[in-house]
């Protein structure tokens, strides 16, 4: 999960945004976010992407269901 210097990769950032990390992993990330601007920007980007994808995926699901009905 961690890259050098305590930074974390895009995948960990996305999992953090989705809330699917273990408690220990989330703890490490949150401590690092207290002091790292680059990783805060990374998480802000993941938050935007994950929120948008969830809404869009829900819309896809709804239209698929409507077509079935």
Which residues contact another protein (rule: CB under 8 A)? 18, 20, 27, 30-31, 33-37, 40, 43-44, 47-61
Q: How far is the CB of 3 from another protein (least distance, A)?
A: 16
For another protein, the closer CB: 2 or 44: 44
Those residues with Cβ within 8 angstroms of residue 64's Cβ, 6 or more apart along the chain or in another chain:
none
Those residues with Cβ within 8 angstroms of residue 28's Cβ, 6 or more apart along the chain or in another chain:
1, 2, 8
Q: How far is the CB of 25 from another protein (least distance, A)?
A: 13
């Amino acid at each position: 999960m961690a890259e050098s210097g305590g930074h974390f990769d895009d995948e960990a950032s996305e999992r953090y945004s989705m809330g699917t990390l273990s408690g220990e992993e989330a703890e490490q990330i949150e401590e690092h976010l207290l002091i790292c601007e680059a990783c805060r920007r990374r998480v802000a980007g993941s938050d935007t992407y994950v929120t948008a994808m969830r809404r869009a995926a829900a819309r896809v699901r709804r239209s698929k269901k409507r077509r079935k009905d």
